[in-house]
Amino acid sequence: MTTRVDDVLRLGDDALIAAQRLGSWYASSPEMEEDVALANIGLDQLGAARLLLTYAGTLEGAGAPEGAGRDEDALAYLRSPEEFRNCRLVERPEPDFGHVIAKLLFLSAFQLPLYIALRSGADEQLAAIGAKACKESAYHLDHSSLWTVRLGDGTAVSHDRMQAAVDTLWPYVDELFAGGVAGLSFESLRPTWESTVDGVLASATLRRPAVGAASPDESRDELVALLAEMQELHRAHPGARW
Amino acid sequence: MTAVRDVVAAVVDPELRVVTIDELGILRDVAEESGRITVTITPTYTGCPAMDVIRSDIRRALAAAGHPESEVVTVLSPAWTTDWISPAGRDKLARAGVAPPGPAHVVPLTLAVRCTHCGSPDTSQISRFGSTACKALWRCGACSEPFDAMKAL
């Protein structure tokens, strides 16, 4: 069984785009402790992204002429939006804090069973990354679950805004389970995801939306804008260092 | 080899400056082949920004000890756990005002974290994310002071 570059990029890009979105909340969240929390979670996502992109570059270079495999920086900063493999959930805009939390809940409820499955999978490098990242994902899921309950089961206003965030992002959930990596089908993670998320939504007195998946033809303007900002410095000053 | 290992083991963590990388449990191996030193370390958190500093600190310490040829290799597996922090490391953390972590393999939240200022077990977590990736923010109910506690991982 071989591990495909694109499948590893999917996971690395999910983590990278999530990290970029989380980082943009620094100094804008509801309280100071939350600024620190979101920055730390973003840092964890960035750490996983770096490991996954580095591994994708190694796979890309295997068996190819010298220098054919790109490094993490080339993959993060020099690919065009069409070459990114992330699911659309992570790139969706976050007009308020409820969206940040709903997105983190949906994402970490996927990443935790994903990394646990990779930990005992056949691909050794993915197993090492999974064993490391799953411990951090457990904190992300815990954090987003607590906030979902606090806001959903909070005031009338916080309830409505949390419900609106869940409703807005729900159409992008289905895409989490498309594809797979190294013999693991992401669809197999859906039952765990559903039982986790259903439990949190119920505790939060939130309604599970009954809406279909987003159209695959929707514009990717949000990703284009995100990458334009994220890649600007590297493209203007290739190889720049702090 | 003992001398070389001692040089590497004495490098301090840049974010928890009271403990060495050896006490923190992230130093895995020091090997020498034809005068070239290979040091193997493992990250605490995947995104820990201190890793780059630790790598350069190790190479600088080795160069200062007369070993200019060195390489620092990072391994992920087996994944680091706070259980690898040595008893000496835990004591130093506590004395520096960072409550050491409970065991990683039991439910950590059931264990009382003692206040690093007054020692009271009457404490509560303010935020599970603190000043660095590895710490959470706590407050003491007895003396009202906030303090950092290292998260069990």
pLDDT band at A238 (very low <50, low <70, confident <90, very high): confident
Percent of chain A surpassing pLDDT 70: 99
Q: Is residue A241 part of a domain?
A: no
Residue A100: band (very low, low, confident or very high) from pLDDT cuts 50, 70, 90: very high
Interchain contact, B127 vs A48, CB within 8 Å? no
Of A36, A46, A135, the CB nearest to B153: A135
Mean pLDDT of B104-111: 57
Chain A neighbors of B52, CB-CB under 8 A: none
Asked if residue A204 lies in contact with residue A162, where contact means CB atoms within 8 angstroms, the answer is: yes
Distance from CA of B130 to the nearest CA of A (A): 7
Which pLDDT does position B105 carry in this prediction? 66
Nearest CA in chain A to B105: A135
Q: Using CA atoms, how far apart are residues A73 and A56, in angstroms rounded to an integer?
A: 12
pLDDT at position A66 over 80? no
Residue A86 lies in a domain: yes
- Please check whether residue A87 lies inside any domain of the structure: yes
| Predicted confidence band of residue B131 (pLDDT cuts 50, 70, 90) | confident
| Structural domain of A19 | 4-236
Phi then psi dihedrals of residue B70, to 5 deg: -145, 160
pLDDT band at residue A99 under the 50/70/90 scheme: very high
Residue A139 falls within a domain, yes or no?
yes
Q: Please indicate, yes or no, if residue A242 is contained in any of the structural domains.
A: no
What number of other Cβ atoms are within 10 A of residue B136's Cβ? 25
Higher-pLDDT residue of B101 and A191 is A191
Reported as a single tens digit per residue, the pLDDT across B61-100 is: 999 999 999 999 999 999 999 999 999 999 999 999 999 9
pLDDT at A195 over 50: yes
Residue A1 has a pLDDT of 67
pLDDT the model gives residue B111: 63
What value does the mean pLDDT take over residues A217-237? Answer: 95
| Listed residue (B7, B12, B15) closest to B132, CA to CA | B15
Confidence of residue B108 (pLDDT cuts 50, 70, 90): very low
Looking at residues A175-197, what average pLDDT do you find?
97
Mean pLDDT of chain B: 90
* Per-residue pLDDT reduced to its tens digit, B38-52: 999 999 988 888 899
Q: Which of 164-223 (A) contact B at CB < 8 A? A: none
- Say if the Cβ atoms of B47 and A44 lie within 8 Å: yes
- Backbone angles phi and psi of A46, in degrees to 5: -65, -40
Q: What is the pTM of this model?
A: 0.91
Torsional sign, CA A140, A142, A143, A148: positive
Mean pLDDT of B114-128: 90
B62: left (phi over 0), alpha (psi -120 to 50) or beta: alpha
- Mean pLDDT in residue range A176-186: 97
Which residue type is seen at A72?
E
Question: Would A45 be classed as within a structural domain?
Answer: yes
pLDDT of residue B106: 53
**In this structure, what token pair is assigned to residue A28?**
């804008």
Would you list the DSSP string of chain B?
A: -HHHHHHHHTPBPSSSTTSBHHHHT-EEEEEEETTEEEEEE--SSTT-THHHHHHHHHHHHHHHTT---EEEEE--SSPP-GGGS-HHHHHHHHHTTEEPP--TTS-GGGSPPPPTTT--S-EEEEES--SSTTEEEEEETTT--EEEEEPP-
pLDDT band at B109 (very low <50, low <70, confident <90, very high): very low
Closest-CA residue in chain B for A38?
B129
Q: Hey, is the C-beta of A41 within 8 angstroms of any chain B C-beta? A: yes
- The CA R_g of chain B, rounded to the nearest whole Å, is 17
Please give the average per-residue pLDDT across A76-104, as a whole number: 97
pLDDT band at A91 (very low <50, low <70, confident <90, very high): very high
The residues near A229 (Cβ < 8 Å, ≥ 6 apart) are none
> Do the Cβ atoms of A130 and A116 come closer than 8 Å?
yes
Q: Helix, strand, or coil here: A113?
A: helix
pLDDT tens for A110-124 read: 999 999 999 999 999
CA–CA gap between residue A110 and residue A115 (Å, rounded): 9
For B144, counting Cβ atoms within 10 Å of its Cβ (0-12 exposed, 13-18 middle, 19+ buried), the class is exposed
DSSP A31: S
pLDDT band at B1 (very low <50, low <70, confident <90, very high): low
Q: Indicate the SS3 state at residue A185.
A: strand
C-alpha B36/C-alpha B18 separation (Å) is: 29
DSSP assignment letter at A237: S
Residue B13 has pLDDT above 60, yes or no: yes
N residues, chain A: 242
H/E segment holding residue A88: helix A88-91
* Average pLDDT, rounded, for chain A: 95
Count of domains for chain A: 1
Res. A211 pLDDT band, cuts 50 70 90: confident
Domain CATH code at residue A100: 1.20.1260.10
- The pLDDT assigned to A94 comes to 97
Q: What is the DSSP letter of A79?
A: -
